[in-house]
Amino acid sequence: MGRVDRRQFLKCSLCAAGGMILPGVLPNESILGSGGDASAAVAQAALSQVEARYYKKLEHKEIQCELCPRECRVGDRERGYCGCRENQGGTYYTLVHSYPCSAHVDPIEKKPLFHFLPGTQAFSIATAGCNLNCKFCQNWEISQVRPEQVRTYHLPPADIAAYAQESKSRSIAYTYSEPIVFYEYMVDCARAGRERGIKSVVITAGYINHDPWLELISEVDAIKVDFKAFTEDFYRDVCQGKLKPVMDALVDLAKSDIWYELVYLVVPTLNDDPNDIRRMSRWMVKELGRDVPIHFTRFHPMYLLKNLPPTPVSSLEKAREIAMEEGMNFVYVGNVPGNPGENTYCPACKRVLIERVGYRIIQMNLKDGACTHCGKSVPGVWS
Amino acid sequence: MGKSKIVVVRSSDVIRASGKVNTELLARTVEQGLCRLTSEEEPADAISHFYSPKDKIGLKVNCLAGRMASTHPEIALVVADLLKTIGIKDKNIVVWDRSSRELKEIGFPLNANGSGPRCFGTDAQGVGYSQELINYKQIGSLLSRVMESFTNVQVNLPVLKDHSLSGVTCALKNYFGAVHNPNKYHDDGCDPFIADLNQVPQIREQQRLVVCDALRVQFNGGPSYHPQWAENFGGIIVGEDPVAVDFVGYQIIDRIRRKHGLPDLEKAGRKPKHIFTAADEKHKLGMASLERIELVEMRI
């Protein structure tokens, strides 16, 4: 565990351009060479002991987690699938409350959230752990490890809110790994941020049970869901999860007032079937409405899927075309800087509302949430 | 294909009334088991079937469930002493598991470079996990550097227990403690994850001998300790074939469960599927039927 003062921390965060700070598995440089008692050489893991929410106690010190659809039954001294919640004597604890392993100030467009306070910064944090295991995970070095296997910082919610304010971030983003697994910390940070007028955005796979999901929706200001695919096979074989709970979570979002956007990472040969994308688009139009933005983003070989090539840009453009044919109004191409599919177009007059290159905004033709060309109101949170 | 030989040695006195282990008797138990397994007269000759003085030997224990439901430290010390009789130096013997804290908690003497066998967890400074991911079948993991850099061959020293997810935890599941993310392998009764992990070349090639701690068998409610379901079985199970050791352990647990009026593991909904997967045509890690196992039962 590292200890930094606020000034050092902010300096680190703001200087680490283009990437997270603090990630990575503990380094191996200092071999057991000092002799004597090895206990002195044991890494001091920084783990919290804050009682988890959404679980029930069973007989014989077992518990059942009720946070996500896995609903892990966890024996005494064992952990759930996420690796960051532990049963200690029949009480379930989160081990990561106030111990993020990553923190950075990012453009909100990086999340990506294109219709939520464009051009602003998000103070972005993550802890170790995830309740899925996607073979293409870009951040597996923090999402697929246990909290004691990464460097952490002690940053209670009040400090997170203060850092966000000092860095002139308009929002706190819970991102990089899977914030569902640090639910308690996320909710506490959101409340601390709200006291300072700072919004909260959640970047998640949406693999969560109904009750904690509804509570989370009431605590934060925007959510981006990684919609991994539109087949159960993909969720099972590539992510070790299920599609249905994610669809249910999306319908919950549609019924709420919260702003949300979707990302669909297009993985060659695994979820790029145009028929599936068309079926998904039809489902979205019917269940979520035409105005929810969806970003078709480019896959790069990573983690356990290094055998596949990067997604051809033509596949992303085809997916975008299909979704627009089916009636979706805001369909983007992601991870392809300079592609016209990064821009927001007015659904009425078809002219450019927001021109982007990567995470930068080049021009913005919106005033009071409406197109400056034709006056059409554009859904989103603009100020 | 020949049979796998498995030896179960029991002594009713190996755990004293106080609950402490009779180390001298335990040493005889292990030695006689190994001699019977190898048909040798002398324990040193028996252990020489598996290890040579050039080896760097890991003693992989399971100490995740606290003092009462983990590998007894005395077994590791007995095996370490036996290895030293064939010329293996203390510095080339590493007793290990996931964390130093857990090793220490159940009574293993942590020792980085002092006299005696070394003992530390993967989380000790300077150890950690491999840089390269294992990407094999259903496995995507980092391997403990104890196996990668500190040792080249293992003595598998599991503890036999009932397990709420996999039915049985014994030799095969013990290697969950060798990777950084065992929590990712709990779905579907840990199957086929346990079998796949044991088939990973870095693990399969280091697996030589199992000396299973069945002194106190948690026959229900495992892997945590529950005194009402812990039986002083007073046994050890030795064999080369980890699948056969697990299969015999499975039979022992079911036998104890029946004695206590509990349903078999299969009827309880947790048949240890992984044992049979490990024996299947895709894995071929060992034998999982009585017809394919030469079972020797001894009492001291």
Determine the residue of chain B that is closest to A303 in CA distance: B133
Q: Does residue B96 contact residue B114 with C-beta atoms inside 8 Å? A: no
Question: A78 contacts in B (CB within 8 Å)?
Answer: 223-224
Mean pLDDT for the stretch of residues B262-284: 98
Answer yes or no: do B184 and A38 touch at CB < 8 A: no
Decide if B70 is inside a domain.
yes
Q: Is residue B186 part of a domain?
A: yes
Nearest to B126 among A28, A35, A61 (CB): A28
Residue range of the domain that includes B294: 18-86+96-108+129-299
B114 → closest Cβ in A35, A80, A240: A35
Q: Measured between beta carbons, which residues in chain A are less than 8 angstroms from residue B145?
A: 28
- The CATH number of the domain covering residues in A102-371: 3.20.20.70
What confidence tens digit (pLDDT) does each residue in B135-169 have? 999 999 999 999 999 999 999 999 999 999 999 99
Q: Cβ B180–A43 below 8 Å, yes or no?
A: no
pLDDT band at B1 (very low <50, low <70, confident <90, very high): low
Contact yes or no for B120 and A78 at CB 8 A: no
Residue B230 has pLDDT above 90, yes or no: yes
Chain B contacts of A60, Cβ < 8 Å? Answer: 221, 224, 226
> Which tokens is A52 given?
């988890």
User: Which residues does B contribute to its contact with A (CB < 8 Å)?
Assistant: 64-66, 99-101, 104, 110-114, 118-121, 123-129, 133, 135, 140, 142, 145, 164-165, 180-181, 183-184, 186-187, 221-226
Does the CB of A135 have a partner CB in chain B at under 8 Å?
Answer: yes
- Chain B contact for A29 (CB, 8 A cutoff): yes
In chain A, where are the structural domains located? Answer: 102-371
Contact B187 A240 (CB under 8 A): yes
Question: What is the per-residue pLDDT across B119-140, written as a single tens digit (0 to 9) for each?
Answer: 999 999 999 999 999 999 999 9
From the CA of B86, how many Å to the nearest CA of chain A? 25
Pick among A68, A74, A76, A131 to test the B interface (most B CBs inside 10 A): A76
Q: How far is B23 from chain A (nearest CA, A)?
A: 24
pLDDT at residue B17 in the model: 87
The per-residue pLDDT for B19 is 87
ipTM for this prediction: 0.93
| Inter-chain CB proximity A73 and B164 less than 8 Å | yes
Mean pLDDT by 10 residues, chain A (383 residues): 50 38 31 29 67 97 97 96 97 98 97 98 98 97 96 96 98 98 98 98 98 98 98 97 98 98 98 98 98 98 97 98 98 96 98 96 96 98 95
**CB under 8 Å to B153, separation ≥6 — which residues?**
B51, B55, B56, B57, B58, B206, B208
In this structure, are strands A91-94 and A85-88 parallel, antiparallel, or unpaired? Answer: antiparallel
Task: Say if the Cβ atoms of B183 and A146 lie within 8 Å.
Answer: yes
Average pLDDT over residues B202-218: 97
The CATH number linked to B185 is 3.40.50
Q: B64: nearest CA in chain A?
A: A77
If one counts the domains in chain B, the total is 1
Q: What tens digit of pLDDT does each residue of B74-89 get?
A: 999 999 999 999 999 9
Partner-chain contact B113 A32, CB within 8 Å: yes
pLDDT tens profile B21-76: 999 999 999 999 999 999 999 999 999 999 999 999 999 999 999 999 999 999 99
Report if residue B142 sits inside a domain. Answer: yes
Residue B118, in any domain of the structure: no
CA distance A97 to A342: 36
| Minimum Cα–Cα distance from B112: chain A residue | A38
C-beta separation of A109 from A11 below 8 A = no
In sequence order, what are the residues at sequence separation of 6 or more whose Cβ sits closer than 8 angstroms to the Cβ of residue A102?
Answer: A20, A21, A22, A23, A124, A125, A126, A142, A176, A177
What own/partner pairs with CB < 8 Å and gap ≥ 24 does A256-260 have? A256/A214, A256/A217, A258/A217, A258/A220, A258/A221, A258/A222, A258/A223, A259/A113, A259/A115, A259/A116, A259/A221, A259/A222, A259/A223, A259/A380, A259/A381, A260/A222, A260/A223, A260/A224, A260/A225, A260/A292
B112 interaction partners in chain A (CB closer than 8 Å):
32, 34-38, 41
Cβ neighbours of B97 in A, within 8 Å: none
Is residue B5 in some structural domain? no
Structural domain includes residue B34: yes
Q: Which positions in chain B touch A72 (Cβ < 8 Å)?
A: 186
DSSP conformation letters of B100-167: HHHHHHTT---BSSSSSSEEEETTBTT--B-SSPEEETTEEEPBBHIIIII-SEEEEE-EEEEETTTE
